[in-house]
Amino acid sequence: MPDDDEDNKMADAPTEAQRRQAYYERIAADDFTPLWEVLSAIITKEPKSDCVAHLWPYEKARAYLMEAGELITAREAERRVLILENPGLRGQSRITTSLYAGLQLVRPGEVAPAHRHSQSALRFIVEGSGGHTAVDGERTPMAVGDFVITPPWTFHDHGNHSDEPMIWLDGLDIPMVSFFDASFAEGHPDEEQAVIRETGDSQARYGANMLPIDFDSRSVVSPVFNYPYARTREALESMRRQDEWDSCHGLKMRYINPNTGGFAMPTMATFMQLLPSGFSTAPYRSTDAMVFSVVEGSGTSTVDGVDMAWGPKDIFVVPSWKWITHHAGEDAVLFSFSDRAAQHKLGLWREQRGKS
């Protein structure tokens, strides 16, 4: 007959689950975690993010910006910007997992004071002309559709000498820089930095398929800091006449660093694409979440079955590895940016093309 004491001991013995839990609690006290408990969550079979597809109608955004202009000056705010915060990432000042975006307003006669920071920044001009930005001693005028670069750790200020408001889309790699704990910022002693170069100097030096003989070829940022829309649009129209359309993109071009042929910025890739009237793209997805700003035209983009109807100046975001198609109701031009430049360098980027 079994011993009653033995039976009681077996009944009182901890189960395997209890022994594991006790082990986990014991090692947690010394700051260890068992990989097997979290492996599927940290190395996922496909990209997984709280970032969601979303569209910001420009009409509503502009009204909020104009109201902000009555409440706080550009000098007080340093940068009067409304952050485009992804609904799935609220409270994090992010439009995608790795990128920040916002709409900035500079009213007539205002100056956004000079400062610099370790984050790279792009400006895509949405409304107005006659404003300017200055980077390391050179000013450039800004007009709708222009793509302007602010390299990391360069002093920059913005001004508006026109009689109309200037509004542009800011794109920065703030979350990426924060991830590496590499954020630095510094104000300039003067509200506006001294202008030491003629307007158009960088275009003359670097934008004509030539480089100064002593140019430092190690630069990771394009030395051209304004890519005017007039030239971009002319190039798209010239290429349209070839009637060669990519099934997933229509006609899509990337901005480059003329020194290297690589992306214009070290962490962010920038693009401009033309979708002719009535054109519908084949499904496409890639690992870089994309931020789009509509320059011209109207249409609809469908992300994983959800339609987003857009028109001029609207902004929308497409998360990583989500299927997207575009349909142009009329000739449409879209600017976009993503972290593809960083993903390329790290060997992470991939894409998948669907059938039309």
Q: What are the extents of the domains in the chain?
A: 54-353
Nearest to 353 by CA among 271, 282, 254, 250: 282
**Could you identify the residue written with the tokens 């079955």?**
305
Strands ordered across the beta sheet of 131-135: 138-142, 131-135, 156-160, 111-117, 185-187
Question: Cα angle vertex 295, ends 282, 62, to 5°?
Answer: 125
291-333 per-position pLDDT tens digit: 999 999 999 999 999 999 999 999 999 999 999 999 999 999 9
Per-residue pLDDT band at 9 (split at 50, 70, 90): low
Q: Which two tokens stand for residue 27?
A: 């090692």
Question: Cα(150)–Cα(67) distance, rounded to whole angstroms?
Answer: 27
Residues 135/128, Cβ–Cβ less than 8 Å: no
Please count the other Cβ atoms lying within 10 Å of the Cβ belonging to residue 185.
10
Q: What is the pLDDT of residues 147-178, one digit of tens each?
A: 999 999 999 999 999 999 999 999 999 999 99
Each residue's pLDDT tens digit, 171-219: 999 999 999 999 999 999 999 999 999 999 999 999 988 889 988 777 8
Q: How confident is the model over 241-293, as pLDDT tens digits? A: 999 999 999 999 999 999 899 999 999 999 999 999 999 999 999 999 999 99
- Name the CATH superfamily for 54-353: Jelly Rolls (2.60.120.10)
Q: Which of 130, 74, 99 is CA-nearest to residue 315?
A: 99
Alpha-carbon span 125 to 347, nearest angstrom: 31
